[in-house]
Amino acid sequence: MVNSRVGTRLLQSLIRPIPRTRLLSTPNLPTPRNASSSSSTPTPQPSSQTRHTSTWRDMAENDITKYLRQTHNRVFEHNKAWAADKKAKDPEFFAKLSAGQNPEYLWIGCSDSRIPAEQITGLEPGDAFVHRNIANLVCNTDLNVMSVIAYAVAHLKVKHIVVCGHYGCGGVKAAMTAKDLGILNPWLRNIRDVYRLHERELDVIADETARYDRLVELNVLEQCRNVIKSASVQQSYAKNKFPIVHGWVFGFHDGLLKDLEIDFEAMLREIQKIYNLTEN
């Protein structure tokens, strides 16, 4: 809660415009809903074109406090409505949800707020085990993602592992920016490594946007390879013929997923020449 001048200054310093090259993604500031209905001072209702840049920078301290309360409370209002809707459509919905999970999919996606796995795929609660991080990376020193993969494969017995990137990925763009990004450097270096692996292909693409789009795709392919390098995936596939791994890319311009159609069997064979971990 921001109720002091120091707090407000801190808040304002956080919303100061950041140079484009330093952004991981366009700041997606929440817009208060029904802001004017619960406030005697009308809260600015920016147009869709300006909502990312001028939402609360011009607000008075009191309005910021109200704005924070509203954006917090609206989540609970939505949650109540969602729970009521689910129960109305299926009175047993939450009893079934409580019984346990049996997801078919493991989704490894980008943290970008615009790509909610379930919403863009029509999946329901219980359908997908989800892991998201900046630029959908699968690093073998990241205990988080490696634990997620091991648990999803060995215990949940997922049938599909999807690595889903997206065009316009701020993480991929930031990785290729000639800047020191502090704590993000080691994380984003994994993407520079992808570029280095595919340098010849990428360097001949003259158009910068096309080159960036291709790097997004190649990053997804390399992360698929990293998933397949894991012992849990190799051992489960040898025994059960699942999971299989997919590389997809989401496009903001049309909301569609593109399947990169990786040849899972061929990729597995190629990887096992060096990274064979099927014996335990």
Binding mask 97-126 for Zn ion (x = CB under 5 A): -------------x-x--------------
Least Å distance between CB 127 and Zn ion?
A: 22
Q: Which of 110, 213, 225, 246 is catalytic?
A: 110
139 labelled ligand-binding? no
Catalytic residue list contains 254: no
Structure tokens at 47: 């147009």
In 3D space, the residue among 166, 189, 167, 194 whose CA is nearest the CA of residue 179 turns out to be 189
Interaction between residue 171 and Zn ion (CB under 5 A): yes
Question: Binding site annotation covers 155?
Answer: no
Out of 112, 131, 224, 246, which one is annotated catalytic?
112
- Which listed residue (131, 169, 224, 246) is catalytic? 169
Catalytic residue flag (residue 112): yes
| Cβ count within 10 A of residue 237 | 19
Measured distance CA(253)–CA(267) in Å, rounded: 30
Tokens standing for residue 118: 């379930």
169 catalytically annotated: yes
Distance CA 239, CA 278 (A): 9
Determine the 3-state secondary structure of 244 from DSSP. Answer: strand
Contacts 24+ apart (CB under 8 A), 43-49: 43/67, 43/70
**β-pair partners for 166:** 250
Q: Nearer to Zn ion by C-beta: 112 or 213?
A: 112
* Least distance to Zn ion, CB of residue 216, Å: 8
Q: Which positions touch Zn ion (CB under 5 A)?
A: 110, 112, 169, 171
Which residues carry a binding-site annotation for Zn(2+)? 110, 112, 166, 169
Q: Which residues are catalytic?
A: 110, 112, 114, 166, 169
